[in-house]
Chain A
Amino acid sequence: MAQRWTITYEVFRKKGSHPPHFDRFKLDVSPDEYVLDGIERIWAFHDRSLVFSHACHHSTCGACGMRVNGLEKLTCITPIHKVTRDGGVIRVEPLKNFPVISDLSVDMSLLYQRMEMVGQRSVLPIEEEGIPDGLLYGKEQKSGHLRLADCIECGLCMSACPISATTSSYLGPAALAGAHQHSIADPQAASLVDHADGVWRCHSAFECTSVCPSNVNPGWRIMDLRKRLISSRILGIFRRL
């Protein structure tokens, strides 16, 4: 497509302890370019002080998550035409619920710490990832192939979750989904999140599932964990009888 659009980027800026503000940049873009491409051009040609996080540019690293016009997006795979039209505005802000390092970059340490705590497996058998609605538990024939997990630890879900917005102690959808993934291999892992700030704090907004760019479906995983925790509790009662 040889079409060119004129877009205005409204970029959140924050340096040190100065109060934040928005800077506006007019760009000539192709509608098929990605939101991240525009941000990179702003840094390269307009403002070298712009701080933003990125690495792979193909949705495997999870570094470039931002809020685009109010909604969490992975900016490297979000085409401009999906978020605005010719002459429109793209408002870019850092993810919510993480401390801002500067401008569009946030400190995701908490997310990584929690993923480590729940033991989410970064590489696992391909049959054990992307499980649709509990169909698989040892039924598929193992191919012996491994693959990197669906979850790219991008933090979009934690930014979108309304509960994560109001309490920092809630583990959040990413960690809970990670615990679910771990519990496929080791059922004991479910008990790591069986507490008031774990699976039981979720209020079914399902926005995590909606914004996830990687098919993790944290909403479903949290509910599936609850089902299995309740089942094992009930079975436990019968076993003790």
Chain B
Amino acid sequence: MTAEKPHVVIIGAGFTGVATAHDLALRGCAVTVVDRGPIANGTSGRTHGLLHSGGRYAVNDQESAIECIDENLILRRIVPQVIEPNGGLFIALDDSDLEYGERFIEGSQACHIPIEQISPQEALRLEPNLNPKLLAAFTVPDATFDPLRLALSFAATAKSNGAHFRLFTEVEGFITDGQGNVTGVKVWDRAQDAHGEIHADMVVNATGAWAGQIAAMAGYEGLPITPTPGVMVAFDQRLTNRVINRLNVPGDGDIVLPQRMMVVVGTTSFQIEDLDYVPVIEDQVRQMLERGAELIPALKTANIRGAYMATRPLVGKGSSGRSLARTFKCFDHKETQGIEGLVTITGGKATTMRAMAEKTADIVCQKLGITAPCLTRDVPLLSYRQFYILPN
């Protein structure tokens, strides 16, 4: 903790944590990011890498759709070095899809998402592996990104502005003053197997799906977060250059996207109790293959390269994962339980990481009395490799 800059400790080196570190470092904070593992070892690393155009949410969740298209354009500008910017398609295969198409057009227009309807023949010309029976197609500005390298790019830029990263360091509890306000974190450096403390003027809980567990360490049991895992299956052929979406209400297995020499099909949605390990459910893997093959029949002859589960942090408690809004929420624990020094940010999706960080940094800076504006919309990010080149 330096005398000049306020020291903020961010728990969690996933997308939210590194983007917030980047924002706060630019606004003049001394930042330390702690994570029990390496960068993006939680949910963030496991995203299939869809940079949403927002088209998926243009009908049912327009707030989310607008967030997506805005952030999509920003990320394409500030960090192109980790993005496959080849656009996406929404494909209609049956009448239900076609009907949805009408609402899709309206919704996309309302959310200023640039779409274009193209003929099935044109769609097949663009992507020869599509289901030849497709009935309608729309282009959207979807894209694919590399999950780890996107996180590393934010982390590298934050590091270049003075942020410190303490990886493999697990938060075991909070340090509080006499009144219950948070003044730091107690940590277990798992690499050295040593315990210690890090003092802070503000702690940001950016642990995503684990936000409830961390908040509980500070005595707040009711964080409205529903960890919702889903399956992803990667196949060993690059069967498409564009993101392929099913033109219908968001469902399971309705996205196929490229990444390097693979395609990834996702995802599902269900409830779990144990966050730290979610086993792969064979039925869901099969379901991805079947649903994905409706969009790209050649998937049936591709080999499965990997299958895994990723747990999204959905905000708001409910019984069905799909009906929760995909927005993010920032909780100032002064408001939730009357203690200073702790702010929790959770929910959201990878595409909106920068916006989540901006809102979080706004609250943190307001509480710390910092008036510097957010600069992250326009500052280009450094090469992700700089994270390993810059000294700690």
A interface residues with partner B (beta carbon < 8 Å): 1, 15-16, 33-34, 37, 40-41, 43-45, 48-49, 51, 53-63, 76-77, 101-102, 105, 108-109, 111-113, 115-116, 122-123, 126, 130, 143, 145-150, 152, 214-215
Contact = CB atoms under 8 A, between A and B. Distances in A.
A45 B277 CA distance: 9
Contacts of A146: 84-86
Contact of A109 (B37, B149, B383, B388): B388
B277 A61 contact: no
B305 interface: yes
Contact of B389 (A15, A41, A45, A116): A116
B82 interface: yes
If over half of A's interface residues share one DSSP class (helix, strand or loop), that class is named, otherwise mixed; here it is loop
B331 interface: no
A41 B276 CA distance: 9
Interface stretch (B94-102, B188-196, B315-323, B367-375): B188-196
Nearest to A76: B306
B258 A147 contact: yes
B93 to A, nearest CB: 24
A109 B168 contact: no
A126 B80 CA distance: 15
Contacts of A63: 38, 41, 45, 148
B148 to A, nearest CB: 4
Given A56-B46, A60-B147, A60-B262, A37 B385 contact: no
B259 A57 contact: no
A44 B308 contact: no
6 contacts: A1-B282, A37-B280, A60-B259, A112-B385, A149-B260, A214-B261
A59 to B, nearest CB: 6
Most central of A44, A54, A109 by chain B CB within 10 Å: A54
B81 to A, nearest CB: 5
A153 to B, nearest CB: 8
B48 to A, nearest CB: 8
A22 to B, nearest CB: 17
Nearest to B389: A113
Contacts of B261: 130, 150, 214-215
A57 B168 contact: no
Given A51-B37, A122-B383, 19 more contacts: A16-B191, A49-B190, A51-B168, A54-B37, A55-B46, A55-B148, A56-B45, A56-B46, A57-B306, A58-B48, A60-B49, A61-B146, A112-B389, A123-B81, A123-B84, A145-B241, A146-B84, A147-B258, A215-B261
A147 B238 CA distance: 10
A122 B149 contact: yes
A61 B149 contact: yes
A102 B38 contact: no
A237 to B, nearest CB: 37
Nearest to A1: B282
Interface in B374-392: 383-389
